[in-house]
């Protein structure tokens, strides 16, 4: 499997932290040199490992904000 390169362009915040130190974070990340996207996933304490997550475009984040405001 090819290496996945990423750059955290902006750390937005931590949503939660597990007892083992993993943090669920919202970040703006450029994956493999592409346009940065909003990214929500778990990260190990040293950021060497990551869990499965989701990436969203700005348009998708705006729609999610609207949906969350309606609940």
Residue 48 has φ and ψ, to the nearest 5°, of: -85, -25
Fold type of domain 6-69: Transcriptional Co-activator pc4; Chain A (2.30.31)
Residue 26 in contact with residue 1, Cβ under 8 Å? no
In the chain, domain spans: 6-69
**pTM of this prediction?**
0.88
pLDDT tens per residue across span 13-53:
999 999 999 999 999 999 999 999 999 999 999 888 999 99
């Amino acid at each position: 499997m090819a290496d996945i390169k990423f750059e955290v362009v902006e750390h937005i915040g931590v949503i939660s932290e597990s007892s083992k130190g993993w943090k669920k974070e919202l970040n703006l990340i450029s994956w493999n040199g592409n346009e940065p996207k909003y990214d929500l996933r778990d990260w190990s304490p040293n950021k060497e490992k990551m869990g499965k997550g989701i990436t969203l475009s700005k348009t998708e984040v705006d729609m999610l904000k609207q949906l969350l405001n309606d609940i």
